[in-house]
């Protein structure tokens, strides 16, 4: 049986899949590419055997999945690719319309917590779609929304345009990783890799070992990946290098503490069921 392995096309996954893409490391599985919510949907339907998923997807149905150890997309401070851009301070956005990305459950859940507990405002969240303009793509036209959540490569591009144009229509920008760190003092885990509990353990472990090998190659070749990221986004190679080096692709005790605290707050808010972290082991 050939396993189906999910991957996100954003630059932030380059360090994990870069060696696989270049044939340096061989993955004995087929790759399926999609934005976070697409992969969440596929894995929840059992159409992927191993995949990177939003942290919230794991929390939503943790009985279904096993966490792959030492593999995640995390930050301990600024993340740079999950940004709230706003025409006014976040504290003043109560009852205002905020466009949120339809592509990331975790980023939206984190934004809701920050508005509720840090900025103490209750805006109206508008999902990005064909009518309003998808927040994922970073288009300047956000309709009647005074702020927008932008994720992934689009956030890097919009932040770069904003710097070059003197902030443009968004004089206020909030890095959600940085805001979480200031609030809790902990790292934040945006995405994790999981295996279906029904997937044979030996095969899941084989994929995990390959992903770890590819990640280690990627972290040792960030200059190469930064050049590829610059060509894909138009953002300077130096800024892409800074971005990739600022992310963490492991899952240390500190990151698990941040993940657990995020889940605790989501459970308290009634947004996900209570559960426990379950790891894939040989």
Torsion angle, alpha carbons of 36, 257, 215, 236, to 10: 70
Mean pLDDT of 93-113: 93
Helices (H) and strands (E) in the chain, counts: 10, 10
- Supply the pLDDT for residue 131: 34
At 1, the pLDDT band (50, 70, 90 cuts) reads confident
CATH topology match: 3-73+188-268 vs 82-184: yes
Between residues 80 and 282, the one the model is more confident about: 80
CATH topology of domain 82-184: D-Maltodextrin-Binding Protein; domain 2 (3.40.190)
Sequence spans of domains, the chain: 3-73+188-268, 82-184
Q: Each residue of 161-172: pLDDT tens digit? A: 988 887 678 899
Cα separation, 136 vs 158, in Å, equals 11
- Supply the pLDDT for residue 143: 65
Of the candidates 176, 149, 148, which has an alpha carbon nearest to the alpha carbon of residue 262?
A: 176
Percent of the chain with pLDDT over 70: 94
Q: What are phi and psi of 187, to 5 degrees?
A: -65, 165
DSSP codes of every residue in 228-273: HHHHHH-S-HHHHHHHHHHSB-S--HHHHHHHHHHHHHHHHTTSS-
- Supply the pLDDT for residue 142: 60
Range with the lowest mean pLDDT among 98-102, 245-249, 250-254, 262-266? Answer: 98-102
At 137, the pLDDT band (50, 70, 90 cuts) reads very low
Mean pLDDT of 120-139: 65
Q: Name the average pLDDT for the chain.
A: 93
Mean pLDDT of 219-239: 98
Mean pLDDT of 209-232: 98
CATH class of 3-73+188-268: alpha beta
Q: Each residue of 70-88: pLDDT tens digit? A: 999 999 999 999 999 999 9
> Residue 28: pLDDT above 60?
yes
- Supply the pLDDT for residue 129: 55
Mean pLDDT of 62-76: 96
Q: Each residue of 11-24: pLDDT tens digit? A: 999 999 999 999 99
Beta bridge partners of 145: none
pTM above 0.85, yes or no: yes
- Supply the pLDDT for residue 171: 92
């Amino acid at each position: 049986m050939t396993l189906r392995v999910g991957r996100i096309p954003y630059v932030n996954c380059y360090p994990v899949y870069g060696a696989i893409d270049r044939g340096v490391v061989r993955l004995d599985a087929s790759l399926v590419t999609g934005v976070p919510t697409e992969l969440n949907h596929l894995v929840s339907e059992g159409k992927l055997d191993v995949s990177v998923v939003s942290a919230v997807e794991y929390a939503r149905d943790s009985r279904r999945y096993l966490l792959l150890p030492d593999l995640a997309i995390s930050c301990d401070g600024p993340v740079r690719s999950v940004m709230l851009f706003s025409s006014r301070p976040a504290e003043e956005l109560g009852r205002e319309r905020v466009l949120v990305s339809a592509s990331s459950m975790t980023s939206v859940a984190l934004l809701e917590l920050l508005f509720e507990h840090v900025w103490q405002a209750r805006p109206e969240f508008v999902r990005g779609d064909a009518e309003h303009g998808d927040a994922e793509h970073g288009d300047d036209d956000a309709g009647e929304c005074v702020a927008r959540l932008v994720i992934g490569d689009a956030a890097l591009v919009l932040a770069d345009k904003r710097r070059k144009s003197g902030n443009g229509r968004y004089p206020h920008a909030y890095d959600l990783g940085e805001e979480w760190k200031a609030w809790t003092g902990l790292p934040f885990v945006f995405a994790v890799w999981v295996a279906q509990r029904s997937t044979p353990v030996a095969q899941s472990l084989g994929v995990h070992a390959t992903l770890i090998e590819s990640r280690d190659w990627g972290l040792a070749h960030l200059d190469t990946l930064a050049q590829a990221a610059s060509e894909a986004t138009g953002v300077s190679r130096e800024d892409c290098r800074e971005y990739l080096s600022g992310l963490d692709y492991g899952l240390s005790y500190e990151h698990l503490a941040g993940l657990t605290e995020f889940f605790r707050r989501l459970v308290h808010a009634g947004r996900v069921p209570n559960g426990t972290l379950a790891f894939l082991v040989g």
